[in-house]
């Protein structure tokens, strides 16, 4: 991938997933279609609540969280705010969703009318609407090349049972994403907390991008 593709500032590596209204890396389309077919035989209609997400969208998410009023007992210290955000949301330019290799998966067959997907752990736990999908993916996703990068073992990010990544392409992207590329992507961005982010960019890359739960 090019530097702009790695940091979410280009879409030249993407193709559309027909019928799902989302985009993935061109080399991820066939494995994802095969994963969906496998799940459908178990009565599961896999869909992506989120797939490719560009730099500007990630920037909007980041800035909204940085500017949100602190929760009770929380601090307004920029470094602590940044660390809190990174537990759940990637730094713009450093999101795995930029690569088109990562998807937040749900089971459309389990949705009831009016249900609002929240992407929280309870939805994938026993008794949750996506519990059956979570069990199926745990057993079968690796056969199609997919894994969960955020299991809460090595990852600096909180566990995300919905987040699956296509390893063959994602691992190449992760190895090519450097602090220099991130710094260039952020150079002109109106990023909240930018000075504090740039001061600890290497640490952010190490802890929140490279420290994942490998397959």
Which domains does the chain show, CATH number per domain? 3-210 (3.30.1380.10)
Q: What is the pLDDT of residue 75?
A: 62
CA angle 197, 201, 204 (to 5 degrees): 95
Q: What is the pLDDT of residue 72?
A: 47
Angstrom distance (rounded) from CA 45 to CA 133: 9
Give the pLDDT mean for 161-185: 97
Contact indicator for 66, 81 with CB cutoff of 8 Å:
yes
pLDDT category at 77 given cuts 50, 70, 90 is confident
Q: What is the pLDDT of residue 69?
A: 78
Average pLDDT, rounded, for the chain = 95
Q: pTM of this prediction?
A: 0.94
């Amino acid at each position: 991938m090019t530097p702009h593709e790695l940091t979410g500032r280009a879409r030249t590596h993407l193709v559309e997933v027909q019928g799902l209204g989302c985009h993935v890396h061109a080399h991820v389309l066939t494995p994802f279609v095969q994963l969906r077919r496998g799940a459908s035989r178990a009565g599961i209609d896999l869909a992506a609540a989120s797939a490719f997400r560009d730099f500007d969208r990630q920037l909007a998410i980041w800035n909204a969280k940085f500017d949100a009023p602190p929760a009770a007992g929380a601090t307004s210290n920029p470094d602590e705010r940044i660390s809190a955000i990174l537990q759940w949301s990637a730094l713009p330019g450093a999101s795995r969703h930029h690569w088109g290799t990562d998807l937040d998966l749900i089971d459309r067959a389990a949705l009831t009318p009016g249900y609002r997907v929240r992407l929280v752990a309870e939805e994938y736990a026993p008794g949750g609407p996506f519990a059956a999908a979570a069990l199926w993916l745990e057993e079968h996703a690796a056969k199609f090349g997919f894994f969960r990068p955020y299991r809460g073992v090595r990852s600096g990010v909180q566990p995300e049972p919905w987040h699956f990544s296509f390893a063959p392409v994602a691992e190449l992207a992760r190895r090519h994403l450097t602090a220099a590329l991130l710094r260039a992507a952020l150079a002109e961005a109106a990023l909240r907390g930018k000075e504090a982010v740039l001061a600890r960019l290497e640490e952010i890359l190490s802890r929140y991008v490279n420290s994942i739960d490998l397959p």
